[in-house]
Amino acid sequence: MKKLRNRQTGKPANNGPAPLCSHSLRDVENHYCAGCGHGIIHRLVCEAIDELSIRERVIGVAPVGCAVIAYDYWDFDVTEAAHGRTPAVATGIKRVRPNNIVFTYQGDGDLAAIGTAEIIHAANRGENITVVFVNNGVYGMTGGQMAPTTLAGQKTATTIHGRSLRREGYPLKILEMLSVLPGTKYAERVAVNSAHEVLRAKRAILKAFKMQMEGKGFSIVEVLSMCPTYWGMTPIQAADRIKNEVATFYPLGVIKSC
């Protein structure tokens, strides 16, 4: 295996390649907060790409949100899209270059709020793309405001007394919504709160890429991630919250597979 080099200094990585680190993941430090799930999910996407040996023909579409500079960490072709329009950009790329593997990486503010129309129509058209949907229940980049997926009673910057169902409505279950569309071929919800769940998440992302390579159609993986900073918790408490609160409202497992 080729030794990884630090892109900024050009020197071999001082600690060698990280354990499960891959060629697709650059050996640089990320900008995420301590305990953020993005770092784990970035690595899982890269590992899936390396296991399938598709690094040369994969094209990622980065979102607007905390993961906006994901292209600094991924060593394959990545483009940027306007807020929420990631599935539309991915549709265009996939139709022009059908031999490339196209995936989008989106947060809940991007996919479930401003980009609801794009994701529903991309799924309904049955576009042969893969979507990695990171759901942490808040807008992390802009300061922890309420997202459509924020749980009832959760305190955020815009719901200081907790989300009220009467005023703000119910949390949006995007995967259940998309699974009723015939264009959606694979929908699974996973989490990254513990090492066992991370393994399951990796399997799900791998399966979603395989579905696209087989030409089956639209595949989406929702990853329940933690945002310790805007949940006002320590990373360990945030991981426990996913298990005890978030996963009870958003049940884990395969929602649809065909």
Partner 1 sequence: MAKIKVNKSRCKGCYLCVVNCPNGLIKIDKDLNIKGIKAVYYSGTRCTGCGMCALICPDGAIKVIK
CA-nearest of 148, 145, 182 to 168 is: 148
Quote the CA–CA distance of 174 and 148 in Å, as a whole number. Answer: 10
39 binds partner 1 (CB under 8 A): yes
Q: What one-character DSSP code corresponds to residue 13? A: P
**Among 5, 6, 23, 30, contact with partner 1 (rule: CB under 8 A):** 30
Per the CB < 8 A criterion, the answer to whether 131 and 115 are in contact is: no
Quote the CA–CA distance of 150 and 229 in Å, as a whole number. Answer: 15
Quote the CA–CA distance of 121 and 165 in Å, as a whole number. Answer: 27
**Interacting residues with partner 1 between 155 and 194 (CB under 8 A):** 192, 194
Per the CB < 8 A criterion, the answer to whether 132 and 141 are in contact is: no
107 binds partner 1 (CB under 8 A): no
195 binds partner 1 (CB under 8 A): yes
Least distance CB 33 / partner 1 (angstroms)? 8
If the CB atoms of residues 38 and 241 are measured against partner 1, the closer one turns out to be 38
230 binds partner 1 (CB under 8 A): no
**Among 213, 236, 254, 258, contact with partner 1 (rule: CB under 8 A):** 236
Residue whose token pair is 């590992």: 47
29 binds partner 1 (CB under 8 A): yes
Q: Which stretch binds partner 1 (CB under 8 A): 21-29, 161-169, 176-184, 216-224?
A: 21-29
SS3 state at 187: strand
Give contact residues for partner 1 (rule: CB under 8 A): 14-21, 25, 27, 29-30, 32-40, 43, 192, 194-195, 198-199, 228, 234-236, 239
